[in-house]
Amino acid sequence: MTTRIDARFAELAKQGRSAFVTFLMAGDPDPKTSLDIIKALPKAGADIIEIGMPFTDPMADGPSIQAAGLRALKAGMTLKKTLEMVRGFRKDDDATPLVLMGYYNPIYIYGVDKFLADAKAAGVDGLIIVDLPPEEDTELCLPAMKAGLNFIRLATPTTDDKRLPAVLANTSGFVYYVSITGITGSASADSKVVGEAVARIKRHTKLPVCVGFGIRTPDAARAIAESANGAVVGTALVDALRASLDAEGRATSKTVGAVADLVAALAQGVRGAKQAAE
């Protein structure tokens, strides 16, 4: 089974470049604007789009992404509406891979089997569930793979060689390497250290390795993309979105463009990477 994620990485490998992966929270600052932003991302240069599922207790996220989740929840965003948003995106774009990222609790409440069937039907390609360790693969990971969705796992600087095989055992799509210890948006990634970590992970898997956390500028994205198969940016995009809102936290005429423009600049950084490495 080839998913859109597999197809996209195969295509990028042919072009000899890394993927630019964007993250935004579903429903931030409101469902309509959120869909408009996500629709604008592929044209701006996003190769893969991660969509956050808003949750009341996002313990791995820093203040920016937590605030985005709260804005989305306040605007009435739910998991059901997140899947509706995916369907809305798929009306015009059947190629760009979409990954839902978040926590297990909303999925558990929704019902695992129903969620997987609805997510697949809506056009979701993969899941990143940050609070489900490999020991709990039977909960969601194995059923997700059976349903034809990639289950993408996080590896961190503290994931040692003994732990890696367990983390990679049922992973598909790509491996998401968290470049810093700590919460999202809290520090900058060191490209040399990241390069060594990516090489280490690649000794254990043939899957593409994408690196996220701590990438805020085109130069940082370029540096990461030289050693990794993809660079993931979330906090910087969420911050650009927030900066475009009015005093009441509502979308303005600048909101969609503010995010799309930053995506375009970061995408240039990622696209410049491989040429620099050759």
pLDDT tens track, the chain, 278 positions? 789 999 999 999 999 999 999 999 999 999 999 999 999 999 999 999 999 999 998 887 889 999 999 999 999 999 999 999 999 999 999 999 999 999 999 999 999 999 999 999 999 999 999 999 999 999 999 999 999 999 999 999 999 999 999 999 999 999 999 987 666 666 677 778 889 999 999 999 999 999 998 899 999 999 999 999 999 999 999 999 999 999 999 999 999 999 999 999 999 999 997 544 44
Q: Which of 264, 246, 234 is nearest to 30 (CA)?
A: 246
Among 28, 30, 47, 61, the active-site one is: 61
Among 30, 50, 118, 137, the active-site one is: 50
Strand order in the sheet with 150-151: 150-151, 126-129, 98-102, 48-52, 19-25, 230-233, 209-212, 175-178, 153-155
User: What local confidence, expressed as pLDDT, does residue 219 receive?
Assistant: 93
User: What local confidence, expressed as pLDDT, does residue 140 receive?
Assistant: 97
pTM over 0.85: yes
The answer to whether position 263 is within a domain reads yes
User: What local confidence, expressed as pLDDT, does residue 276 receive?
Assistant: 43
The answer to whether position 142 is within a domain reads yes
The answer to whether position 173 is within a domain reads yes
User: What local confidence, expressed as pLDDT, does residue 224 receive?
Assistant: 93
The answer to whether position 278 is within a domain reads no
Domain at 263, CATH number? 3.20.20.70
User: What local confidence, expressed as pLDDT, does residue 275 receive?
Assistant: 44
- List the domain range (segments joined by +) for residue 31: 4-273
Distance CA 91, CA 221 (A): 30
The answer to whether position 251 is within a domain reads yes
Distances (CA, A) of 121 to 37, 50, 93, 211: 22, 17, 14, 28
Q: Domain total for the chain?
A: 1
The answer to whether position 159 is within a domain reads yes
HEC per residue, 2-15: CCHHHHHHHHHHHH
50 has catalytic annotation: yes
61 has catalytic annotation: yes
User: What local confidence, expressed as pLDDT, does residue 183 receive?
Assistant: 64
Distances (CA, A) of 156 to 65, 162, 168, 178, 197: 19, 13, 12, 5, 9
The answer to whether position 197 is within a domain reads yes
Contact 120, 144 (CB under 8 A): no
The answer to whether position 250 is within a domain reads yes
User: What local confidence, expressed as pLDDT, does residue 278 receive?
Assistant: 42
